[in-house]
Amino acid sequence: MAIFGKKYFKVELDRVERKDDEALWMKCKACNELVFKKKVRENNNICPKCGEYFFLTAPERIQLLADPDSFEDISRPIVAADPLGFVDEDGQSYPDKIKKAQEETGLANEIIVGRARIGGYPVILAVMDFRFIGGSMGSVMGEQICHGMEQAAQERVPFILISATGGARMHEGILSLMQMAKTSACRKKLADARVPFISIMTYPTTAGVQASIASLGDITLAEKGALIGFTGRRVIQQTLKQDLPEDFQTDRFAFEHGIVDNVVKREHLRDELMRVLKFFV
Amino acid sequence: MSEHVIEELQRQIHRLKELSRNGLDLSEEIARLEAKLAALQTPHTPPAPPELDDWERVKLARHPQRPYTLDYIKLIMEDFYELHGDRLYGDDAAIVAGLARFAGETVVVVGTQKGRDAQENVRRNFGMPHPEGYRKALRVMKLAERFQFPIFTLIDTPGAYPGIGAEERNIGGALAHNIYEMFHLRVPIIVTIIGEGGSGGAIALGVGDRVLMLENAIYSVITPEGCAAILFRDAKKAPQAARALKLTARHLLEFGVIDEVIPEPPGGAHLDPPRAAQALGEAWQRHLRAVKGITPERLVQLRAERFRALGVFEE
């Protein structure tokens, strides 16, 4: 038993409901219209009024992409430890923070790895959940990504990583930084096995994850509305003390600067993956 | 050694005491040996100097007089010949790279470089590289592989530069590719953190067969100021963040992230650069000897396994 709370637990995808779904209506942050939440959820979390994207949880993302009932969670049964004994300013310990994130999301970790089929093509899918401490990469995420890649290499099926992350997790200090090297080291196993790696960058894909595994795809796609970059906008603004271009670090910016192969609308992402996967069969 | 002496003394005292039961007066001799034994058993090492606070080490790691990459190259290596440019965009003076002679052979050395004064710091961007710096580093490291030259990397950077141009030229992608490619290089790589090991900008030169760290260097996922601003909501709480992040060489040795802490002269490397360089040079020779005999296949395999094993979690 983990000393601080829940041990690893598997998630039944269709049972995971959002905590914030008790309210029936929500206000769109873009058009300010009141919209019916159920309609938003049915519409892939896209505002039915103006088309603004709201974030997807990892279970929602899996439901969007995988063939019905094809997903099988193969995550390693591990949860975060507390190597630094980290306590933040409010006196909240890192284990307490993890426990709170588990309760709020219904997930054991910030990433889920599993076998799935997409349009019939077998794949290994690794999906981050931004709600879980900003989808940040600590030892658990690094291990799960490696596990997913090793599984994909062994089964000779494509590896798909869907990033939604603020970067490395500060609470695990240097060990989080080392996950950048660890995942990059493992990525070679896919190349050696001639297994394709499709990296999908969503809102947001930044810092330590963008500067490692997310940027090492054979094919790199940005979801429309993605935020892609290394240093956060606010930090750059503070350093330079000047305004940044309007489209800075947006999906369009990434495309125009040659950082991604294509930008894909959320509702087309599944079809786009099927088109790409076909080439590697 | 002293344990051996103590045992021998104890045996002698025991024998004398047995002999004295037969009527011999050996009390003077016994007393003399017992005094000697007592002196040996009392710890006589002088009290260790108080352990430096982690924040003090951060300040030492950033000390403006601290030896930088080019200082160590000059003090340890010979005939350094600098190479410039990434062949794609430009030359970044925040990273120096080139050929040199060390321990009787040709080596490649790559490192981040801070400036000594305001003017040089502008030119070297305070040791904060752009993508072209990392791409130059990779180009020169691939040259090393082509000719089977061992690679030394030296790390002393607050981090990769947070700027518009850096983002436009995909700094994140440049860091990622360096990390990835360094796992493929079929020559020995010895990494040394000599000052500040600042996050992604550091790990992008930090993949190797040996990772060494100077005693007062730091290596961290984020600057103490950055961590304080985000998690403690006040950049002024950097000393507190520095302690929380466990970013000193001693901590990193415990985490298994580095292989050896290179001692610095009392007070820090800036007080006696030649002595600091001598300790570093000796360590480089020793570690280079140890990894040179390993076949290229095994070398890259061990390197990947080493980093694959890093991380702490609960089952």
pLDDT at A89: 81
**How far does A277 lie from chain B, in Å, by closest CA?**
23
Query: What phi and psi, each to the nearest 5 degrees, are found at residue B230?
Result: -85, -55
pLDDT at A3: 45
Segment 131-190 of chain B within 8 Å of chain A by CB? 160, 162-164, 166-173, 175-177, 179-180, 183-184
Query: What phi and psi, each to the nearest 5 degrees, are found at residue B248?
Result: -90, 165
pLDDT at A159: 98
Query: What phi and psi, each to the nearest 5 degrees, are found at residue B80?
Result: -60, 130
* Six token digits for residue B255: 């985490």
Q: Which residues of chain B are within 8 Å of residue A81 when distances are taken between CB atoms?
A: 312-314
Bridge-partner residues for A165, per DSSP? Answer: A205
Q: B303 to chain A: nearest residue by CA?
A: A185
| DSSP at A30 | T
Nearest alpha carbon to residue B112 among B96, B126, B131: B96
Q: A256 to chain B: nearest residue by CA?
A: B168
**How far does B19 lie from chain A, in Å, by closest CA?**
59
- H-only helix segments in A130-218: 139-155, 173-192, 207-210
With 0-12 / 13-18 / 19 or more C-beta atoms within 10 angstroms meaning exposed / middle / buried, residue B293 is: exposed
Nearest alpha carbon to residue A209 among A228, A191, A223: A228
Q: How are beta strands B189-198 and B218-220 bridged, if at all?
A: parallel
pLDDT at A186: 98
CA angle A231, B249, A206 (to 5 degrees): 15
* Residue A32 amino acid letter: N
- Identify each DSSP E strand in chain A by its residue range: 25-27, 34-36, 72-73, 79-80, 111-118, 121-128, 159-165, 197-206, 219-223, 228-229, 262-264
pLDDT at A208: 98
Segment 180-239 of chain B within 8 Å of chain A by CB? 180, 183-184, 199-200, 202-204, 206-207, 219-222, 226-227, 230-234, 237
Interface ipTM: 0.95
DSSP for chain B, please give it: -HHHHHHHHHHHHHHHHHHHTTT---HHHHHHHHHHHHHHHS--SPPPPPPPPHHHHHHHHT-TTS--HHHHHHHH-EEEEEE---SSS---TTEEEEEEEETTEEEEEEEE---SSHHHHHHHGGG---HHHHHHHHHHHHHHHHTT--EEEEEEES-S--SHHHHHTTHHHHHHHHHHHHTT--S-EEEEEEEEEEHHHHHTT--SSEEEEETT-EEESS-HHHHHHHHSS-GGGHHHHHHHHT-BHHHHHHTTS-SEEEP--TT-GGG-HHHHHHHHHHHHHHHHHHHHTS-HHHHHHHHHHHHHT---EE-
**How far does B105 lie from chain A, in Å, by closest CA?**
29
Question: What is the three-class DSSP state of A113?
Answer: strand
* Six token digits for residue B280: 């570093």
Mean pLDDT of A182-210: 98
Query: What phi and psi, each to the nearest 5 degrees, are found at residue A31?
Result: -105, -5
Q: Best mutation site among B135, B175, B314 for testing chain A: the one with the most A CBs within 10 Å?
A: B314
* Six token digits for residue A98: 């993890």
pLDDT at A189: 97
Question: What is the three-class DSSP state of A26?
Answer: strand
Using omega within 30 degrees of 0 as the cis cutoff, is the peptide bond preceding A204 cis?
A: yes
pLDDT at A15: 66
Tens digit of pLDDT for each residue in A72-96?
Answer: 999 999 999 999 999 988 889 999 9
* C-alpha span between B273 and B68 (Å, rounded): 10
Residue B188 near residue B288, CB atoms below 8 Å: yes
* Residue B94 amino acid letter: A
Distances (CA, A) of A104 to A64, A93, A136, A169, B58: 21, 17, 16, 18, 37
- Portion of chain A with pLDDT greater than 70, in percent: 96
CA torsion A58-A63-A66-A70 (nearest 10°) is 110
Question: What is the three-class DSSP state of A221?
Answer: strand
* Six token digits for residue A83: 């190597």
CA B147 distance to own-chain centroid = 26
Give yes or no for residue A21 having a pLDDT over 90: no
Residue B204 near residue A181, CB atoms below 8 Å: no
Q: Could A229 and B172 be called an inter-chain contact, meaning their C-beta atoms sit closer than 8 Å?
A: yes
Tens digit of pLDDT for each residue in A218-259?
Answer: 999 999 999 999 998 888 988 888 889 999 999 999 999 999
Q: Best mutation site among A178, A187, A188, A244 for testing chain B: the one with the most B CBs within 10 Å?
A: A178
pLDDT at B234: 87
Q: Could A215 and B177 be called an inter-chain contact, meaning their C-beta atoms sit closer than 8 Å?
A: yes
First to last CA, chain A: 42
Q: Could A182 and B310 be called an inter-chain contact, meaning their C-beta atoms sit closer than 8 Å?
A: yes
pLDDT at A226: 97
* C-alpha span between B131 and B175 (Å, rounded): 8
Q: B252 to chain A: nearest residue by CA?
A: A174
**How far does A86 lie from chain B, in Å, by closest CA?**
6
Tokens 């700027």, located at residue: B163
CA angle A109, A110, A111 (to 5 degrees): 95
* Six token digits for residue A147: 């596990």
Reported confidence tier of residue A1, pLDDT bands at 50, 70, 90: very low
Q: Could A139 and B313 be called an inter-chain contact, meaning their C-beta atoms sit closer than 8 Å?
A: yes
* C-alpha span between A107 and A104 (Å, rounded): 8
Q: Could A174 and B247 be called an inter-chain contact, meaning their C-beta atoms sit closer than 8 Å?
A: yes
Segments of chain B with pLDDT less than 70: 1-3, 42-50
pLDDT at A90: 84
Among A6-10, A200-204, B81-85, B182-186, the range scoring the smallest mean pLDDT is: A6-10
* C-alpha span between B8 and A99 (Å, rounded): 59
Q: How are beta strands B210-214 and B218-220 bridged, if at all?
A: unpaired
Q: Could B166 and A230 be called an inter-chain contact, meaning their C-beta atoms sit closer than 8 Å?
A: yes
Tens digit of pLDDT for each residue in B271-296?
Answer: 999 999 999 999 999 999 999 999 99
Query: What phi and psi, each to the nearest 5 degrees, are found at residue B282?
Result: -65, -40
